[in-house]
């Protein structure tokens, strides 16, 4: 077997990952990631493997590495298709290999909707590199100029003679050639793309539908035992005493194991507690019920979410830290005859991934092999290494399919639990979280109180605008002293692009009392709710159509480039108001805004923003029945995500986002009493079901050749404000705090 020898080792520039997730990975991968050693994947073992993402075997099989996690986002299909396109490979002959956690692939933390935007070029170049080597090998064999050779779906063709040679037949010769430099590559023109921009089904579609796909929950090893863990009910709590005699009498229970509490800050560490080890999941669950534990609840035992909410809202009523200041808002407030203010509130939210956290790990001979449904396998390597006292490179983290992620599975606490237990027990351990564990021990989206105020001119348009948000920061997960938001403020807060001369943005302090994390759409879930609701209130106050008013605030097409310390717009992704206007107008037009006759109790609401470099607008139609029940007959969403790789799954993501946003608006709420989370399952943490979800979500993709952007999250956070604006249009009832389940709609 021949491997390319003269491959230069390339440095992997790691970004500053403080707080983990929201640093876009474009800067943390080399231009083309190259293999530095032969590793053990079929792609690496293939005859031709010019870089870590692709290998071609002599039978023509093309192995492509999927290095990002698949959780319904479609990246396991879309990224390999980009590579396959530039390779001019036959998709039917592509086998996708899921990468283990390994820094050689660059960033693998599948969050922040950036798999495509960060790796579009990398994948193209990886495919084009292999393609050029195959062309050069064929030209050499045929003794013809390279310029006379082209590729056509898995074969190299000598254009003047029509002579052909398959990729598999050329792989051996190609592998002897030097790997071309980036400057030598010729990427396809857009018009030549075979796969990019074309609908594709998920690579795993049939396996999923036939029950053969393997999720973390399905991982098995011979000799493994099952563990279910009773965590401290309050964050930071510890075990005072534990009586396990009754638990041990449950058939199938083998033993109990004390797991040490974390050292603050909690980061991704296990919470500690008592694990029940058993022969099967059921016995472990039953054993847990029989544990008698006395807890020391620790420093968060006084946390009551109702009191906390009042504190957040009170903080938001007073001047806070200024994070953007333009013009003189106070002067305008002083001289204005009309000011309007409003308070908004969004509670803690839980991810409730369909597959609860689960992990299988085996500690053997000083090394750990784990099978984890994780968004962040390199972090799992680090975490396990630290938890069991070994080196990161001695942890192999296999990434299974994820039964959804939504941000929860960037946190690998459950994987570390499995590794710690396996080391203690000397056998493979599968840790299974119950749904109650999932809901009660989440990394919740921060609860947020917001205050907005506008001074209006004679036409009802703001001459000055003030917005304050107060929320415990997600950085508290990494820094116990954190009180202020950081990158959350870039989630549709600092960059609100309204054409208003005096504009001030503030952020107030709050302390976290539960674990906090990013949840699909993150701070945008509360920021966009406040901003887009307030716009609607001002439109109503001015007696103007809310679409027209929103477009007026957004202003004329232009590039907004804010120069604000701590805020940076991503290079290559300027905030383009023309694109924002276009999606807004398109969604409205498709929804029949101002034209369609709506029945009794019906109304339309709109919201628009940019998130993850994607411009999105949704028009929600609601029907509020005479009994006050809410139906959502239709949502029209327009999206401009730049260059689109797989339109089928862009539509799917936006359809799903509409449902996810509906769940947030209707019923999403985590509360706590004396530090203990009150919710535990889908009865008290309801999510939208088929009869509560939007009946029909129509998605319109704006054609664009701008750089690709993200689609997993942007469509979520426009839904709650658009929905509440629609409820206002239908009923005159203004909702300023979520969820709707706390309100009567008539």
Tell me, by CB under 8 A, how many residues bind other proteins.
67
Told to check if 590 binds other proteins by CB under 8 A, we report no
Say how many CA atoms lie within 13 Å of 42 toward its Cβ: 16
Told to check if 628 binds other proteins by CB under 8 A, we report no
**Choice between 152 and 206, CB closer to other proteins:** 206
**Of the residues 208, 340, 342, 706, which one makes contact with other proteins according to CB under 8 A:** 208
Residue pair 18/485 in contact (Cβ under 8 Å)? The answer is no
Told to check if 248 binds other proteins by CB under 8 A, we report no
Segment contacting other proteins by CB under 8 A, of 120-128, 189-197, 300-308, 690-698: 690-698
Return the structure tokens found at 735.
């909702």
Backbone region of residue 148 per phi and psi (left: phi > 0; alpha: psi in -120 to 50; beta: other values): alpha
Please, what is the minimum distance in Å from the beta carbon of residue 465 to other proteins? 33
Secondary structure element (H or E) that encloses residue 332, with its range: helix 329-335
Return the structure tokens found at 695.
């009946």
Told to check if 130 binds other proteins by CB under 8 A, we report no
273 CB burial (10 A radius; 0-12, 13-18, 19+): buried
Told to check if 242 binds other proteins by CB under 8 A, we report no
Strand order across the 149-151 sheet:
149-151, 155-158, 163-166
Please, what is the minimum distance in Å from the beta carbon of residue 610 to other proteins? 22
Binding mask 132-171 for other proteins (x = CB under 8 A): ----------------------------------------
Residue pair 130/139 in contact (Cβ under 8 Å)? The answer is no
Q: How many CB atoms lie within 10 A of CB 3?
A: 16
- CA distances to 30, 32, 78, 486, 570 from 23, rounded to whole Å, are 15, 20, 22, 12, 10
Binding mask 400-439 for other proteins (x = CB under 8 A): -xxxxxx-------------------------x-xx----
Strand runs (DSSP E) across 300-385, as ranges? 321-326, 338-346, 358-364, 367-372
Please state at what angle helix 546-554 crosses helix 577-591, rounded to 10 degrees. 170
Please state at what angle helix 75-87 crosses helix 115-142, rounded to 10 degrees. 30
**Choice between 235 and 738, CB closer to other proteins:** 738
Please, what is the minimum distance in Å from the beta carbon of residue 561 to other proteins? 35
**Choice between 70 and 297, CB closer to other proteins:** 70
**Choice between 123 and 632, CB closer to other proteins:** 632
Residue pair 435/408 in contact (Cβ under 8 Å)? The answer is no
**Choice between 71 and 235, CB closer to other proteins:** 71
Distance CA 547, CA 553 (A): 10
Residue pair 622/723 in contact (Cβ under 8 Å)? The answer is yes
Return the structure tokens found at 23.
């640093």
Please, what is the minimum distance in Å from the beta carbon of residue 525 to other proteins? 15
Site for other proteins in 58-97 (CB under 8 A): 70-74
Distance CA 105, CA 526 (A): 34
Told to check if 202 binds other proteins by CB under 8 A, we report yes
Told to check if 714 binds other proteins by CB under 8 A, we report no
Told to check if 217 binds other proteins by CB under 8 A, we report yes
Please, what is the minimum distance in Å from the beta carbon of residue 250 to other proteins? 9
Please, what is the minimum distance in Å from the beta carbon of residue 649 to other proteins? 8
Return the structure tokens found at 418.
């499995």
**Of the residues 226, 363, 529, 728, which one makes contact with other proteins according to CB under 8 A:** 226
Segment contacting other proteins by CB under 8 A, of 229-237, 377-385, 548-556, 692-700: 692-700
**Choice between 205 and 310, CB closer to other proteins:** 205
**Of the residues 75, 110, 536, 653, which one makes contact with other proteins according to CB under 8 A:** 653
Distance CA 34, CA 121 (A): 14
Q: Which residue in the block uniquely carries the two structure tokens 């992990």?
A: 359
Site for other proteins in 283-312 (CB under 8 A): 283, 285
The per-type count for the chain, helices as H runs and strands as E runs, is 17, 29
Segment contacting other proteins by CB under 8 A, of 5-13, 180-188, 354-362, 411-419: 354-362
Beta-bridged to residue 275, according to DSSP, are: 229, 257
Residue pair 287/311 in contact (Cβ under 8 Å)? The answer is no
**Of the residues 15, 557, 682, 741, which one makes contact with other proteins according to CB under 8 A:** 682
**Of the residues 230, 267, 332, 655, which one makes contact with other proteins according to CB under 8 A:** 655
Told to check if 700 binds other proteins by CB under 8 A, we report no
Please, what is the minimum distance in Å from the beta carbon of residue 292 to other proteins? 21
Told to check if 211 binds other proteins by CB under 8 A, we report yes
Distance CA 612, CA 491 (A): 9
Beta-bridged to residue 243, according to DSSP, are: 292
Distance CA 378, CA 29 (A): 14
Q: How many CB atoms lie within 10 A of CB 733?
A: 14
Residue pair 734/725 in contact (Cβ under 8 Å)? The answer is no
Told to check if 616 binds other proteins by CB under 8 A, we report no
Segment contacting other proteins by CB under 8 A, of 110-118, 241-249, 276-284, 322-330: 276-284
Segment contacting other proteins by CB under 8 A, of 314-322, 333-341, 611-619, 685-693: 685-693
**Of the residues 210, 595, 597, 600, which one makes contact with other proteins according to CB under 8 A:** 210
**Of the residues 20, 233, 237, 694, which one makes contact with other proteins according to CB under 8 A:** 694
**Of the residues 27, 238, 280, 304, which one makes contact with other proteins according to CB under 8 A:** 280
**Choice between 172 and 282, CB closer to other proteins:** 282
Return the structure tokens found at 536.
């609607």
Told to check if 376 binds other proteins by CB under 8 A, we report no
Backbone region of residue 183 per phi and psi (left: phi > 0; alpha: psi in -120 to 50; beta: other values): alpha
Cis ω for the linkage preceding 564 (within 30 of 0): no
**Of the residues 27, 141, 281, 480, which one makes contact with other proteins according to CB under 8 A:** 281
Q: How many CB atoms lie within 10 A of CB 215?
A: 18
Segment contacting other proteins by CB under 8 A, of 255-263, 529-537, 678-686, 727-735: 678-686
Q: How many CB atoms lie within 10 A of CB 510?
A: 25
**Of the residues 36, 318, 695, 732, which one makes contact with other proteins according to CB under 8 A:** 695
Site for other proteins in 447-486 (CB under 8 A): none
Of 203, 100, 184, whose CA–CA distance to 136 is shortest?
A: 184
Please, what is the minimum distance in Å from the beta carbon of residue 284 to other proteins? 10
Told to check if 101 binds other proteins by CB under 8 A, we report no
Residue pair 182/54 in contact (Cβ under 8 Å)? The answer is no
Give contact residues for other proteins (rule: CB under 8 A).
Answer: 70-74, 201-202, 204-206, 208-215, 217-218, 220, 226, 251-252, 280-283, 285, 352-356, 401-406, 432, 434-435, 648-649, 652-653, 655-660, 662, 681-683, 687-691, 693-697
């Amino acid at each position: 077997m021949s491997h390319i020898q003269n491959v230069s080792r390339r440095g992997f520039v790691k970004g500053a990952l403080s707080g983990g997730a929201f640093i876009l990975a474009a800067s943390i991968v080399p231009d083309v990631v190259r293999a530095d050693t032969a590793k053990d994947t079929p792609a690496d073992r293939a005859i031709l493997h010019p870089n870590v993402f692709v290998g071609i075997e002599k039978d023509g099989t093309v192995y492509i590495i999927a290095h990002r996690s698949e959780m319904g986002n479609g990246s396991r299909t879309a990224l390999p298709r980009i590579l396959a396109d530039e390779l001019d490979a036959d998709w039917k002959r592509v086998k996708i290999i899921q990468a283990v956690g390994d820094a050689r692939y660059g960033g693998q933390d599948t969050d922040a909707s950036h798999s495509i935007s960060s790796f579009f070029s990398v994948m193209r170049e990886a495919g084009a590199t292999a393609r050029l080597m195959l062309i050069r090998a064929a030209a050499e064999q045929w003794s013809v100029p390279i310029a006379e050779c082209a590729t056509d779906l898995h074969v190299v063709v000598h254009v003047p003679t029509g002579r052909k040679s398959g990729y598999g037949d050329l792989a051996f010769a190609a592998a002897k050639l030097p790997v071309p430099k980036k400057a030598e590559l010729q990427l396809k023109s857009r018009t030549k793309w075979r796969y990019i921009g074309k609908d594709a089904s998920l690579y795993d579609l049939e396996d999923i539908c036939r029950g053969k796909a393997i999720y973390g929950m399905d991982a098995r090893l011979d000799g493994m035992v099952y563990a279910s863990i009773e965590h401290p009910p309050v964050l930071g709590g510890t075990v005072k005493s534990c009586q396990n005699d009754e638990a041990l009498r449950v058939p199938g229970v083998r033993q109990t194991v004390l797991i040490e509490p974390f050292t603050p800050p909690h980061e991704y560490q296990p919470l500690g507690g008592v694990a029940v080890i058993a022969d099967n999941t059921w016995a472990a669950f039953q054993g847990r019920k029989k544990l008698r534990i006395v807890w020391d609840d620790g420093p968060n035992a006084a946390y009551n979410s109702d009191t906390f909410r009042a504190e957040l809202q009170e903080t938001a009523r007073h001047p806070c830290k200024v994070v953007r200041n333009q013009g003189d808002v106070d002067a305008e407030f002083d001289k204005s005859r009309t000011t309007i203010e409003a308070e908004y509130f969004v509670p803690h939210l839980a991810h409730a991934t369909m597959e609860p956290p689960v992990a299988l790990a085996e500690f053997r001979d000083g090394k750990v092999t784990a099978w984890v449904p994780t968004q962040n396998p390199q972090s799992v390597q680090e975490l396990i290494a630290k938890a069991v006292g070994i080196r990161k490179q001695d942890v192999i983290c296999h990434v299974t399919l994820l039964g959804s992620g939504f941000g929860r599975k960037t946190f690998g606490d459950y994987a570390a639990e499995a590794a710690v237990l396996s080391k203690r027990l000397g056998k493979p351990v599968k840790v299974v979280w119950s749904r109650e564990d999932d809901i009660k021990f989440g990394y919740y989206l921060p609860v947020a109180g917001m205050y907005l105020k506008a001074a209006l001119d004679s036409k009802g348009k703001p001459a000055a605008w003030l917005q304050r948000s107060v929320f415990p920061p997600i950085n508290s997960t990494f820094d116990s002293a954190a009180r202020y938001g950081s990158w959350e403020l870039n989630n549709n807060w600092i960059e609100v692009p309204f054409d208003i001369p005096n504009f001030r943005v503030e952020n107030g302090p709050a302390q976290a009392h539960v674990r906090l994390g990013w949840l699909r759409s993150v701070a945008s879930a509360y920021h966009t709710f406040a901003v887009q609701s307030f716009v609607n209130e001002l439109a109503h106050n001015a007696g103007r159509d809310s679409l027209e008013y929103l477009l007026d605030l957004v202003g004329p097409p232009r590039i907004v480039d804010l120069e604000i310390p701590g805020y940076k717009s991503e290079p290559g992704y300027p905030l383009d108001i023309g694109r924002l206007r276009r999606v807004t107008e398109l969604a409205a037009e498709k929804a029949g805004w101002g034209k369609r006759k709506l029945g009794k109790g019906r109304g339309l609401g709109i919201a628009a923003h940019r998130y993850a470099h994607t411009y999105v607008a949704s028009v929600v139609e609601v029907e509020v029945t005479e009994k006050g029940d809410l139906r959502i007959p239709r949502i029209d969403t327009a999206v401009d995500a730049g260059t689109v790789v797989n339109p089928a799954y862009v539509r799917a993501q936006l359809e799903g986002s509409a449902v996810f946003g509906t769940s947030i608006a209707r019923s999403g709420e985590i509360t706590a009493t004396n530090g203990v989370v009150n919710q535990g399952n889908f009865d008290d943490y309801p999510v939208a079901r088929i009869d509560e979800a939007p009946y029909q979500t129509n998605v319109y993709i704006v054609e664009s050749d701008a750089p690709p952007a993200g689609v997993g999250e942007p469509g979520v956070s426009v839904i709650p404000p658009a929905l509440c604006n629609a409820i206002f249009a239908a009923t005159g009832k203004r909702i300023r705090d979520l969820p709707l389940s706390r309100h009567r709609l008539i």
